[in-house]
Structure 1
């Protein structure tokens, strides 16, 4: 059995090497981007949800640069961030241009830190992305807090710019890259007074409909809702419950906009989640139109840089792959396999026009990077 496993692994790595060689030839030595590396990630038992998100994040250049800069700082106690930094550093400093890397240390740490991922079942890529970004932000805030505490112990006092421990935690480079702000506007239909409440986000989750576009989904996200009957709004100006209009607008646009398409819907009659394989077109260029009147840089233009694709019929079954843009071409990462694809091939991942078959390869998380 041991010999058979060894032979099987050897054959597998030979295949990976052949794929890597073919990719290098297809791109061509003259066209191959300087200081760029395309490495697949080994699947450690249904870890494609993790591999696809990591590949997408690696090709979000601002995020990659911050992770690599963090890796160059003095070593800290091992955590999910240090493991991610080691993985990105390993990819970025390979002697070969293409190949395969096993993200074993990262997966081990992930399973150790969160019991949700401590199994060999398929997990949700969006849940993982959310957990990863929030965990990194928490770790950075904790490190800053520790550094300031150490500084205070050494110097006897904190400088005036140090954070007030009673206020909200300071923002990190995770927030600088991914955080946007929504404003929830409510207008009383009696006195016309408008009240607003801001809410920060690291990614936006939008409902999907058949044969639409991501722009349509975003418009739906900001549709005006009427609050009436038992859902009337308490107006501070009128000092009573009144009918009102409520809508959500984007007030601050992030550097990288992560859009999560809500493709999994709970069906009461089936007692489980089912996949909405609807065809939703996502353009290579995107401009948001659901911004608030006081939005900063409302005309911001975005370019699609990565897509996490779900293949299959449900959240706990199927497979995840990633499509990324690197320089002027597109690549498909399917765990340890890396292939160059045409930009036109992205249309294959919009979803299905027919609802007869729910087993599809469809865009699940979109990453748009601003041009400015």
Structure 2
């Protein structure tokens, strides 16, 4: 429980009456069958200020062939307009994404990435960065492969009963590692396969950093995916050099890989309060008890995706050293 309290920065008491009365009225999304994964992602996108503004400002140009899935973007526009007023439906979104079976649950991370990849970069760029995958041979020859990214996947290597520290997991993602001999890479300058050290760096850091907590591993003994339910320690802010990133959205998942339920706890940029978005239900979080009852069932529900926002221009290059300074 303490990990969630630290995550959301609650003190355990009611917010003051003035803050309570000034809360925004948010609206939910109807579940078409098993579309909670989609509803949760859409609410996180809607509650991201820069993305909402970009979607609402988009104007279709029939002469521009580089507008991606313009139909999807127009459906997002319509949906965001509806969410400003009433509970909304997502039939237009599911049709644009070619979701034919709304009774089959899908992975929230997969559809978060699918939506952003199908719309124009001018709109999705708030979530996009550029990652450099580096390798080095013993003679110091360095090779770089740069590629865009939307999420950073964090492997969970702790046991089910141990606390996973997200900050340490992010540090581990950027730590250098040595490849096994079977996986050594070919060095053009050495003209042979050699010992290989690899590491990651972020060349272009997104305004919103999305962390995917990889809860599922394949168990070869059971021949199925097994979910790690370990608790997590997640700071409400993450300091990267001179930049402070603020946690504002948490996607939760209960169940197994093929089923279950998604919802989200999201901090509003409009009134600075937390809300639980659970399909058509939207609940303002006033106390820790309200949060636990609304969004977190500690027997079944676990944190799956984190959205972290940088309120100022983010750094252009990042490595593990940034977390340690």
TM-score normalized with structure 2 length = 0.78
8 Å Cα contact 1:59/1:305 also seen in 2:
no
2-structure distance, mates of 1:124, 1:74: 29
Q: CA 1:322/1:284 → structure 2, altered by over 3 Å: closer, same or farther?
A: same
8 Å Cα contact 2:276/2:282 also seen in 1:
yes
Structure 1 gaps, min length 5: 1-24, 141-170, 289-297, 353-358
Query: Which structure: greater helix fraction?
Result: 1
Q: CA 1:254/1:27 → structure 2, altered by over 3 Å: closer, same or farther?
A: same
Tell me the residue number matched to 1:41: 29
* Aligned partner of residue 39 in structure 1, secondary structure: coil
Deviations 1:282-335 (A, max 9, x none): 2211134xxxxxxxxx543211111111022x1212100011001321000111
Q: CA 1:125/1:26 → structure 2, altered by over 3 Å: closer, same or farther?
A: farther
Tell me the residue number matched to 1:365: 305
Structure number with greater CO (CA < 8 Å, separation at least 6) is: 2
Equivalent residues, number: 282
* Aligned partner of residue 78 in structure 2, secondary structure: helix
- Structure number with greater Rg is 1
2-structure distance, mates of 1:242, 1:78: 47
In the alignment, structure 1 residue 338 sits paired with structure 2 residue 286? no
| Superposition deviation, residue 204 in structure 1 | 1.2
Tell me the residue number matched to 1:80: 72
| Superposition deviation, residue 275 in structure 1 | 1.2
Deviations 1:145-183 (A, max 9, x none): xxxxxxxxxxxxxxxxxxxxxxxxxx43312x1111211
2-structure distance, mates of 1:67, 1:334: 23
| Superposition deviation, residue 240 in structure 1 | 2.4
Q: Within 5 A, what are the aligned runs for 1:341-360?
A: 341-342=285-286, 344=288, 360=300
Tell me the residue number matched to 2:38: 50
In the alignment, structure 1 residue 65 sits paired with structure 2 residue 53? yes
8 Å Cα contact 1:329/1:343 also seen in 2:
no
The list of structure 1 runs, each at least 4 consecutive aligned residues, that deviate by more than 6 angstroms after superposition, is 75-78, 345-352
8 Å Cα contact 1:60/1:306 also seen in 2:
no
Q: Within 5 A, what are the aligned runs for 1:81-120?
A: 81-92=73-84, 94=85, 100-110=87-97, 113-115=98-100, 118-120=101-103
Q: CA 1:219/1:46 → structure 2, altered by over 3 Å: closer, same or farther?
A: same
TM-score normalized with structure 1 length = 0.69
8 Å Cα contact 2:60/2:70 also seen in 1:
no
Structure 2 gaps, min length 5: 1-16, 63-68, 313-325
In the alignment, structure 1 residue 128 sits paired with structure 2 residue 111? yes
* Aligned partner of residue 249 in structure 1, secondary structure: strand
| Superposition deviation, residue 202 in structure 1 | 1.2
2-structure distance, mates of 1:350, 1:186: 41
* Aligned partner of residue 206 in structure 2, secondary structure: coil
Q: CA 1:249/1:74 → structure 2, altered by over 3 Å: closer, same or farther?
A: closer
Tell me the residue number matched to 1:178: 127
Alignment RMSD, CA only? 2.7
Q: Within 5 A, what are the aligned runs for 1:199-238?
A: 199-210=147-158, 211-238=163-190
Tell me the residue number matched to 2:215: 263
